[in-house]
Amino acid sequence: MSANNAVRVTVWNEYRHEKTNATVAGIYPNGIHGAIAAFLEKSGAIARTATLDEPEHGLTEQVLADTDVLTWWGHAAHSEVSDEIVDRVQKRVLEGMGLIVLHSGHFSKIFRKMMGTTCALRWREAHERERVWLVDPTHPIAAGVDPHFTIEHSEMYGEHFDIPAPDELVFVSWYEGGEVFRGGCCFKRGLGRIFYFSPGHEVYPIYHHPQVQQIITNAVQWASFRGNPAVKPFYNAMVAPLETIAPKDYQSEKIQHPGR
């Protein structure tokens, strides 16, 4: 966190559709990242942005070291994200950085790496209505959110969604065309917290929706909690016993533990 406890967010965006598609550019003149950063700043966070085509995708070691929460939007160019940067982000999440994965980010390298599954789903782009239902009202990400709200035009994301069962399921979406989707899911990994949130197709003004902004703002706050850094599970060397162990006549032949 920063000196005044404001959360330091880095808003990452693929930032391609905005340059090539007039509809997207019209909705997000400053890019999707610009829109997200703007409402997060209003909530009191310190937001910077980073995009695919910057050197190191804008995610240098220093940027990540100064980031409490990273939000991720990508779609058509997942494969252009370098594996080295993905490993760097994963390491930081396991050390306690929050990660908010948005919409088509479900297929990003970083999300699939953190989940261990395909993260595949059903989908359809048909300009249809989505309704987001709150199923865990005790969750901080649900604070101030309506029990249900409507996104008039949305891309459908439907089950089965191939993820591990989330540690906490917060939102489930309904679609006009007949599907449901576990669209708001929390995961804890290492010392970090991850939230996946499905709304956010680029050709609709979804990140201008007040309820969507509330949820992402809440999620950033929630994910900024860094796990207890005193817990250092990885040891290259044997630990001493805490209790006295009964004397034994045994001597194991030494075998080096390989670490990882």
Least CB distance to a second copy at residue 126 (A): 6
3-state secondary structure of 52: coil
- Which residue in 224, 214, 206, 218 sits closest to 32, CA to CA? 206
Query: Which stretch, 4-12, 38-46, 50-58, 76-84, contacts a second copy (CB under 8 A)?
Result: 76-84
Least CB distance to a second copy at residue 55 (A): 23
Give dist(CA 169, CA 207) in Å, integer.
21
Query: Which stretch, 4-12, 26-34, 54-62, 189-197, contacts a second copy (CB under 8 A)?
Result: 189-197
Least CB distance to a second copy at residue 10 (A): 20
Least CB distance to a second copy at residue 168 (A): 7
Nearest to a second copy of 41, 168 (CB atom): 168
- Kindly give the residue spans of alpha helices, DSSP state H, lying in 5-102: 17-20, 22-27, 31-42, 61-65, 83-95
Give dist(CA 110, CA 243) in Å, integer.
41
Give dist(CA 173, CA 175) in Å, integer.
7
Give dist(CA 222, CA 218) in Å, integer.
6
Nearest to a second copy of 33, 103 (CB atom): 103
Least CB distance to a second copy at residue 108 (A): 10
- Which residue in 117, 131, 104, 136 sits closest to 203, CA to CA? 104
Q: Identify the residue among 6, 48, 54, 107 touching a second copy (CB under 8 A).
A: 107
191 binds a second copy (CB under 8 A): yes
178 binds a second copy (CB under 8 A): yes
State the pairing for strand pair 180-189/148-158: unpaired
Query: Which stretch, 42-50, 51-59, 186-194, 208-216, contacts a second copy (CB under 8 A)?
Result: 186-194
Query: Which stretch, 47-55, 59-67, 209-217, 240-248, contacts a second copy (CB under 8 A)?
Result: 240-248
Give dist(CA 217, CA 229) in Å, integer.
24
Count of positions on this chain that bind a second copy (CB under 8 A) = 105
148 binds a second copy (CB under 8 A): yes
117 binds a second copy (CB under 8 A): yes
41 binds a second copy (CB under 8 A): no
Six-digit token string for 30: 């400053």
Nearest to a second copy of 3, 230 (CB atom): 230
25 binds a second copy (CB under 8 A): no
Q: Identify the residue among 19, 30, 146, 208 touching a second copy (CB under 8 A).
A: 146
106 contact partners, CB below 8 Å, separation of at least 6? 119, 121, 157, 161, 196, 198
